[in-house]
Structure 1
Amino acid sequence: MIHQEIANYRLASQKLLKQNQNTPQEIVQHLGAIQAQDYAMAKWAIGSRCNATEKEIEEAINSGKIIRTHILRPTWHFVSADDIYWMLDLSRAQVKRLFTSSARQHGYDEKKLDQVNSSIEKLLSGNNHLTRDEIMQELNIKKASGDLSPVIIMMNAELEGLVCNGKMKGKQISYALLEERVSKPKTTLTKEEALAKLAKRYFESHGPATLLDFSWWSGFPPTAARLAINTIESELYSIEIDNQKYWFGTNFTEVDNFCESVHFLPAFDEILISYKTREASILLEHQSKAFTNNGIFKPIILENGKVIGTWKRTIKKDHAKIETQFFSDLDENKKSTLFKAIKPFENYLETKISIK
């Protein structure tokens, strides 16, 4: 393996290189966690890796097989119901530290947050799914410009394992009690066991990747990441390229270095966002066109594992409109060939697509 091949190997690890028969929940469980603040695009992150339609993925989320909550880093992720409790237990403290100061500035110390959680538990008890606005209304917390109280309250409730996403209410996401959606496991992991499990899951599904890549993705500092890797070192393969060690799973399958592939991937997709540095997939000169310094990622077009442009979609009444922007000029024949790769997205949406 050489540095130029890493992107193609990552496609294989992330289940993008070949078609598979995995369910949406299996895709999420394989990846460990999928960043999901952009709900619509996060569903396509799952759909682009299996044959499920958007409706089928929505059903997996509505039924509680896939959970959307704050975990790992201070943003939403999709996680499998099978992983929600141990992963929450592992990452809760580190994420809470990042918003504790803001919570106090808004008048919420631990005692007050516990009181609010008790009220939320009563509101949602009995599978009563409510939107954030409905919860705030019941708590008599009025909307105010610049007031982060609703965000702080619900993020804390998620991190404490009290709530997670409920069933969709039209186009609005609701909240439900986590224990009413997913039963608590009978056994628990130590922090060391959980971090080692998370590291193994990451390198098997995202490798080849570095220690700093795992540290970034997991939210844990490099010292903790190193300890986790030391624990599972015998369960991984590694390779050193340009004095940098890359780790990957032992079940890794050799891939054709010249395998042709084109993918239209969503904003915030794991293929870019899950790595500390992204030069393996996108040239430095193009990175500002695909993501910003403050963490906004655009939907991307990959050819053979390399980002060659961006795209956006507009949902119409009877079709979806796709507009593309390539980093270099392409002739019409080349574009026509690339545009064939939008077919999986058309199948996923179950609607016609116009693309230009």
Structure 2
Amino acid sequence: MGVGDEVRYIGVGERRVRLALRQQLAGTARVGSPEEVAEALVALHGSDPATVYLAVGARLVDPSGTVVETERALYEDRSLVRMHGMRHTVFAFPTELSAVVHASTGLTVAARERAKLLKDMAKAGAPDATWLKEVEAAALAALGRRGQATAAELTEDEPRLREQFVYAAGKSYEGVHSVSSRLLKVLGVEGKVVRGRPLGSWISTQFRWAVAPPHPELDVAEAQAELLRRWLTVCGPATEADLKWWTGWKVTDVRRALTTIRAVRVSVDEGPAYVVDGDAGPVEGPVEPWAALLPGLDPTAMGWQQRDWYLAPSLRPALFDRSGNVGPTVWWNGRVVGGWGQRPDGEIVWRLLDTEGVGSEAEAAVAVEAERLRGWVGATRVTPRFRVPLEKELAGGTG
């Protein structure tokens, strides 16, 4: 796997330099467009719609046009696409990567989700797979005619989408599902439909649907190798545990992809790790001191499973929810040092939790970033979809 006689150790300091440059967080590493951000980071978390915009804005040289430019990329040029990806999570990807994501991570999940839908319908005495295929074909045809549509709008063209069935009858979590909500979710995982424009502003969680852009069907192993190569180029070194967690693959798939791309084994504090071929040497650094305010679920904060090298364990109770979702974070020179929130009047407020090596220079830099964020967010009130203790406290004005 490209492993030499000597395995190079990459320490925390160098890992933080790599993070600053490759995650486009240092001032000199910022870029000019949402496409450049997505291309570099591979994937932008989209479970919370606001995360895509906030993650882009934090990495632009001039963030004043963040909303307009990101909407252009997502809904006009379609150079970015929101779709299901790793770990059955919604991300925004460069459109040219959609085939790789679909083949490498979507196919297995898609098969499982369709089987689950059919099983749930059968238990409820709902129509069979043939009926569902007919409804699916009609829904896709209607969506093609409309261009973009909500589930409610599609039921006007295909009334069978309104059909409902009882889910988990007799269980404590029993509920009623509509065919439209479950079917559109399955079609999204299968790569047949993608999220279109939101019904409201850029922070809205309600989306229209659109037919997915056409893409070739790729070999699964080749697609996995390509996705892992792209991610490891940005996030290496990473351990096998990091790779398995981020991709959501089986460990055998991770190891096969590492072999295919001739990944090079190195050493980090957590143990054996990997970088892409040619990336085992020292990186240029150090970088100029930098600060950043990143949103909840930012791809950098959520980039690795083993995070102690950039996020002290003592900070996790304040910055994560019970499901493991990270909230808004404050960064200084490659590590998380606190969190931030937005008050009802729009003010960006923040608090430092880890003050080791953080002095007046850091506080001044964080204040600049807070004002920079406030400048482009304007009057929009952004509330994270997954709220964490410190963000709740700061946003409530009690911090």
TM-score category, normalised to shorter length: 0.7 to 0.9
- Provide Cα deviations, 1:209-237, integer angstroms capped at 9, x if missing partner: 1222111111111111011001112xx55
Q: Secondary structure at the match of 2:88?
A: strand
Whether 1:3 and 2:37 are equivalent positions in the alignment is no
Describe the shift of the 1:259–1:21 C-alpha distance in structure 2 as closer, same or farther (beyond 3 A): closer
CA-CA distance at 1:303 after TM superposition: 0.9
Identity %: 21
- Determine the structure 2 residue equivalent to 1:176: 210
| CA–CA distance in structure 2, aligned partners of residues 58 and 332 of structure 1 | 37
| CA–CA distance in structure 2, aligned partners of residues 292 and 157 of structure 1 | 29
- Determine the structure 2 residue equivalent to 1:60: 73
- Determine the structure 1 residue equivalent to 2:296: 267
Describe the shift of the 1:66–1:49 C-alpha distance in structure 2 as closer, same or farther (beyond 3 A): same
Whether 1:33 and 2:33 are equivalent positions in the alignment is no
Describe the shift of the 1:253–1:166 C-alpha distance in structure 2 as closer, same or farther (beyond 3 A): farther
Whether 1:349 and 2:390 are equivalent positions in the alignment is no
| CA–CA distance in structure 2, aligned partners of residues 173 and 279 of structure 1 | 36
CA-CA distance at 1:15 after TM superposition: 1.9
What pairs up with 1:34-49 in 2 under 5 angstroms? Answer: 34-49=44-59
Unaligned runs of 5+ in 2: 1-9, 123-127, 167-173, 382-394
Asked if 2 retains the 8 angstrom alpha-carbon contact of 1:85 and 1:184, the reply is yes
| CA–CA distance in structure 2, aligned partners of residues 243 and 48 of structure 1 | 29
CA-CA distance at 1:128 after TM superposition: 2.9
Describe the shift of the 1:315–1:164 C-alpha distance in structure 2 as closer, same or farther (beyond 3 A): farther
- Provide Cα deviations, 1:147-184, integer angstroms capped at 9, x if missing partner: 35454322211122221122333334211111xxx343
- Determine the structure 2 residue equivalent to 1:79: 93
Q: Secondary structure at the match of 2:89?
A: strand
Describe the shift of the 1:331–1:14 C-alpha distance in structure 2 as closer, same or farther (beyond 3 A): closer
| CA–CA distance in structure 1, aligned partners of residues 14 and 130 of structure 2 | 52
Which range is displaced more, 112-121 or 140-149? 140-149
What pairs up with 1:110-259 in 2 under 5 angstroms? Answer: 111=130, 113-135=132-154, 138=159, 139-141=161-163, 146-149=175-178, 150-171=180-201, 172-178=206-212, 182-185=213-216, 188-233=217-262, 236-242=263-269, 244-249=271-276, 250=278, 254-257=283-286, 259=288
| CA–CA distance in structure 1, aligned partners of residues 359 and 274 of structure 2 | 39
Describe the shift of the 1:133–1:201 C-alpha distance in structure 2 as closer, same or farther (beyond 3 A): same
Describe the shift of the 1:98–1:244 C-alpha distance in structure 2 as closer, same or farther (beyond 3 A): farther
What pairs up with 1:260-339 in 2 under 5 angstroms? Answer: 260-314=289-343, 320-327=346-353, 335-339=363-367
| CA–CA distance in structure 2, aligned partners of residues 253 and 312 of structure 1 | 36
Q: Which amino acid aligns with 2:200?
A: G
CA-CA distance at 1:69 after TM superposition: 1.4
CA-CA distance at 1:190 after TM superposition: 1.4
Unaligned runs of 5+ in 1: none
Q: Secondary structure at the match of 1:176?
A: strand
Q: Which amino acid aligns with 1:74?
A: H
Q: Which amino acid aligns with 1:58?
A: E
CA-CA distance at 1:312 after TM superposition: 1.6
Describe the shift of the 1:264–1:190 C-alpha distance in structure 2 as closer, same or farther (beyond 3 A): same
Asked if 2 retains the 8 angstrom alpha-carbon contact of 1:9 and 1:208, the reply is no
Over aligned residues, Cα RMSD in angstroms? 3.2
- Provide Cα deviations, 1:85-115, integer angstroms capped at 9, x if missing partner: 2321222233235545752453177545433
Which range is displaced more, 13-22 or 282-291? 13-22
CA-CA distance at 1:195 after TM superposition: 0.8
